[in-house]
Amino acid sequence: MPSTLSFDDLKSRVVDGSVDTVLTCLVDMQGRLMGKRFHAANFVETSYNETHCCNYLLATDLEMATPDGYASTSWQSGYGDYVMKPDLATIRMVPWLEGTAMVLCDVLDHHTHEPVPHSPRAVLKKQISRLKALGFDAMMATELEFFLFAKSYDDIRKSGFRDLEPISGYNEDYHILQTTKEEGVMRPIRNHLYAAGIPIENSKGEAEAGQEELNIRYAAALDCADHHSIAKHAIKEIAWQHGHAASFLPKWAPDRVGSSSHVHQSLWVDGKPAFFDPDAELGMSELMSHYMAGIIAYAPDYTYFLAPYVNSYKRFAKGTFAPTKTVWSVDNRTAGFRLCGDGTKGVRVECRIGGSDLNPYLAQAAMLAAGIKGIQDKMTLAPATTGDVYEDAKAGDIPQTLRKATETLRNSAFLREVMGDDVIDHYTRAAEWEQEEFDRAVTDWEIARGFERA
């Protein structure tokens, strides 16, 4: 399949005129690509080494507002610069944009040139390094669920985001006829991403009208997060190019199922699956049991990294395939954690808690940290849960609101130990701000309910 470009490949394409623009991007707190469009000649001559951006890019909300309360930057400190350091191993073509290549950047302190600790790529790289020191590599895969809508972003925004109409008329889970009608959007998504070096496996209809799922082949943890962020960005751009809107909002209507981003994970040693033991029950190695015990025990601590907004928690509902409990089961989609591929070399654990709005770097980092803790402490994995987990009164609950998840994040001694106080304080402030903004809002529901009757 096509792959990333070497820097020499990029220079050759700039010389022959096939590339004239280089998107130089960092990943922000929300998992979005932010950066600059360089003239390609300038990039290969000088800017490949570094460029700069305002440090507010890692202290904003979805609206690009600049909340107070961050230690890293503020109006008082004057909003200075960060260094954007291109990771030249991530150069790739952007086939859906003419003459355009892309590179992802690490974010460095302007004065010390050390990684900015709360930068999402840095947060994940730290946990990958900790895992590597134990002798393991993490292989991960994320599923991207989203909705396609009949109208464009502009039309939907101008209508006040009312009367939203999905691109199809009924549940299209695995439905070939329905998804054939959407190939005008989905085929370019698959093919353009594949041509960009993203190892696309397939797309399929999901369990609602207009709901899609894109699956990308498993990869090393950092590559997986890069693939996820680039694919999410591409899906929005390609949908826009075809006059439609793609949304990763987890719950856009109360009577429709939400969108998730399940995360599959396993550890490897020297290219071999460390989670597999052919002589053990279900093929699960002792290492896998410890790892799973860790990610389950600390799930409440890191739920914010799987569900970062008020809307994220509207998705957790019985009978919707979205989990509500922090237990595991064998190939059971009602549990927060599902054992997949039991008895085979592909044995792995799938976390089903995360919504389509998660930042993959932060979500993966949190789970790796919890898994490492489970391994180091030799934590014991409780027996698998069976049956309808929604009705299991003994199972631990996933935090059901952003307010509750913020408290578990703020008070997590474990996360403060493995990620650092500065990182946890930074993202706690992000969570607080999101709640504060929602608390100030007056919703359509409140007005309709109380305008006359209150």
Kindly report the length of the chain: 454
In whole angstroms, what is the distance from residue 369 CA to residue 410 CA?
16
Task: Indicate whether 84 and 220 sit together in one domain.
Answer: no
Per-chain mean pLDDT for the chain: 95
* pTM check: above 0.85: yes
> What Cα–Cα distance (Å) separates residue 314 from each residue in 139, 255, 308, 334?
30, 11, 12, 16
CA distance 439 to 255: 23
Coil, strand, or helix at residue 168? coil
Residue 453 lies in a domain: no
Same domain, yes or no: 106 and 144: no
Strands 81-86 and 200-205, bridge-based pairing = unpaired
Tell me, yes or no, whether 100 and 197 share the same domain: no
Q: Does 314 lie in the same domain as 222?
A: yes
Pair (372, 230) in one structural domain: yes
Q: Are residues 165 and 94 in the same domain?
A: no
Res 392: pLDDT:
75
- CA Rg, the chain, in Å? 22
pLDDT along the chain (454 residues), means of 10: 89 97 98 98 96 95 93 84 97 98 97 96 98 97 97 96 93 90 96 97 94 97 98 98 97 94 96 95 96 97 97 86 84 86 94 96 98 98 86 82 97 98 98 97 94 92
In the DSSP assignment, the letter for residue 355 is: B
Question: Residue 1 falls within a domain, yes or no?
Answer: no
Q: What are 211's two structure tokens? A: 């709901």
The most distant pair of C-alpha atoms in the chain lies apart, rounded to whole Å, by 70
Would you say residue 337 lies in a domain?
yes
What is the structure's pLDDT at 213? Answer: 97
SS (H, E, C) 420-448: CHHHHHHHHHHHHHHHHHHHHCCCHHHHH
Residue 59 inside a domain? The answer is: yes
Name the residue among 146, 186, 187, 148 with its Cα closest to residue 166. 148
Tell me whether residue 450 is in a domain. Answer: no
Sign of the dihedral defined by the CA atoms of residues 284, 287, 292, 293, in that order = positive
Q: Which residues pair with 93 in a beta bridge?
A: 101
Tell me the per-residue pLDDT of 314-358, one tens digit each, with 9 for 90 and over.
998 777 777 877 889 997 788 889 999 999 999 999 999 999 999
Instruction: Quote the tokens at residue 412.
Output: 């997590």
**Tokens describing residue 213:** 């799922």
Regarding whether 62 and 165 lie in a shared domain, the answer is no
Task: Report the number of distinct structural domains present in the chain.
Answer: 2
Closest-CA residue to 103 (of 93, 112, 111): 93
Residue 392 DSSP code:
-
CATH of the domain at 31: 3.10.20.70
Report whether 287 contacts 163 (CB < 8 A): no
Asked if the structure places residue 121 within a domain, the reply is: no
pLDDT tens-digit readout, 338-347: 999 999 999 9
CATH number for the domain harbouring residue 421: 3.30.590.10
Residue 332 CA to its chain's centroid (Å): 23
Q: Tell me: the pLDDT tens digits for 371-390?
A: 999 999 999 999 988 878 78
Say if residue 232 is in the same domain as residue 301: yes
Domain end marker among 58, 93, 115: 115
Does residue 452 belong to any structural domain of this protein? no
One domain, residues 141 and 87: no
pLDDT of residue 1: 64
Strands (E), 46-131: 51-54, 81-86, 92-93, 100-109
Has residue 264 been placed in a domain?
Answer: yes
**Residue with structure tokens 């399940």?**
262
What was the pLDDT predicted at 159? 95
- Give dist(CA 49, CA 134) in Å, integer: 32
Same domain, 215 and 69: no
**47 & 144 share domain:** no
HEC string for 117-139:
CCCHHHHHHHHHHHHHHCCCEEE
Instruction: Examine the fold and report which residue of 82, 115, 148 is the final residue of a domain before the chain moves on.
Output: 115
Model pLDDT, residue 391: 76
Amino acid at 450: G
- Domain's final residue, options 75, 94, 115: 115
Check whether residue 87 and residue 202 sit in a common domain.
Answer: no
| Domain interval for residue 106 | 7-115
